[in-house]
Copies of this chain bind each other. A is one copy, B any other.
């Protein structure tokens, strides 16, 4: 087997990617916690639900979208339900199914929190990148995303 080690450029790219993401995640968690007592996974759930038709989604589909395990999503939806931001509903077309539904309070919460969150994403990522850098990064990420999603 040929290991094919990473050269300096590749190593730099990988480390920059990993470190930056973790740092950014920390910053985002900090901001969301302070602003609304939300975690980033919880916020992501609200965002995806708000964009879905009827502001609702099946659990499994939602888990795929936000890239969480089923059990992690079960846990978080329960938390959000306690906070009144999401409700569970029976799925009419599938007796096994559960729909996570964004409540009005959940929508209001999201609208209240989103600007501050976006500001962080802007301040540390988006606004520091040129339009071309942004485009290149998106293309690159999508290639990887596709490869990862299709291989399972």
Asked if A38 lies at the interface with its beta carbon under 8 angstroms from chain B, I say: no
B residues in contact with A20, CB < 8 Å: 141-142, 144-145, 148
In the bound complex, what is the Cα–Cα distance between A16 and B138 (angstroms)? 6
* Total interface residues in chain A, CB < 8 Å: 53
Binds B, one of A74-82, A83-91, A93-101, A120-128: A120-128
Among candidates B13, B118, B131, B144, residue contacting A6 with C-beta atoms closer than 8 Å: B118
B residues in contact with A67, CB < 8 Å: 18-19, 22-23, 26
Are the CB atoms of A17 and B141 closer together than 8 Å? yes
Q: Known contacts A143-B128, A145-B20; is A118 also within 8 Å of B4 by CB? A: yes
A131 nearest CB neighbor, chain B only: B9
Among candidates B12, B21, B122, residue contacting A21 with C-beta atoms closer than 8 Å: B21
18 A-B residue contacts at CB 8 Å? A3-B118, A4-B118, A4-B122, A6-B121, A9-B138, A10-B134, A13-B126, A13-B137, A19-B67, A23-B149, A26-B67, A124-B144, A124-B147, A128-B140, A128-B143, A128-B144, A128-B147, A136-B137
